[in-house]
Amino acid sequence: MNPMLEGMLETALYARDLDEAEAFYENVLGFEKIARAANRHVFFRCGPGVLLIFNPEETIKPPASDALQVPPHGTTGAGHACFRVSGRNIDAMTERLRAAGVAIESEVHWPNGGRSIYFRDPAGNSLECAEAKIWGIEQDI
């Protein structure tokens, strides 16, 4: 790994309905909301990093001259994010999701050991909760 790059700081997903996304990530997944800017974005604390949910219809617009100079960006279609979960918490997370009416699409037992579950957010993004050892990473952070 490049010694100057210390890891992922933020991950971005896109959702046109920020109210629905905010309710899902805050109430179903239990993330702490950091900030919301009208219908442009909502940001959440996710372990040592940040999950950014952007409205793609807003982030493709050039910034106002008095705004922060973040260039336009975005994507179309569903994205993917994987949340690190300890093996002892995967079953609890599965139950939390099911209790909230979220379908588990798949559960995978990986060849390296560890497992993950896949599900969707209201915008259709593919989400995964997985043990770090699926990538040969020590479990404890």
Place of tokens 């560890």: 114
Rounded-to-integer distance, Cα 26 and Cα 140, Å:
24
The band of 3, judged by pLDDT with boundaries at 50, 70 and 90, is confident
* Per-residue pLDDT reduced to its tens digit, 83-101: 999 999 999 999 999 999 9
* Per-residue pLDDT reduced to its tens digit, 52-72: 999 999 988 877 766 667 788
Specify the pLDDT at position 128: 97
> Of 83, 88, 86, 77, which is closest to residue 45 (Cα–Cα)?
83
Q: What are phi and psi of 119, to 5 degrees?
A: -155, 175
Domains of the chain with bracketed CATH: 10-63+78-135 (3.10.180.10)
